Structure 1
Amino acid sequence: MHAETPPPTPPALAALPPRAVPVAPPKNLHRMRTRAKSGFVQPRKLMAVSMPSPANSPIPANYKIALRDPNWYNAMLEEYNSLVQNKTWSLVSCPAGVNLVSGKWIFRHKLHPDGSLARYKARWALRGFTQQPGVDYGETFSPVVKSATIRVILSLAVSNN
Structure 2
Amino acid sequence: MRDEFAALVSNRTWELVPRPPCANLISGKWVFRHKTRADGSLERYKARRVVRVFRQRPDVDYGETFSPVVKPATIRTILTIAASRSWPVHQLDVKNAFLHGTLQKEVYFLQPAGFVDETKPDHVCRLAKSLYGLKQAPRAWFLRFASFVTSIGFRATRSDSSLFLYNNGPDAAFLLLYVDDIVLTASSPALLQRIVSELT
Q: Taking structure 1 as the reference length, what is the TM-score of the superposition?
A: 0.44
| Higher Cα Rg, which structure | 1
Higher RCO by CA contacts (8 Å cutoff, separation 6 or greater):
2
- Greater share of strand: 2
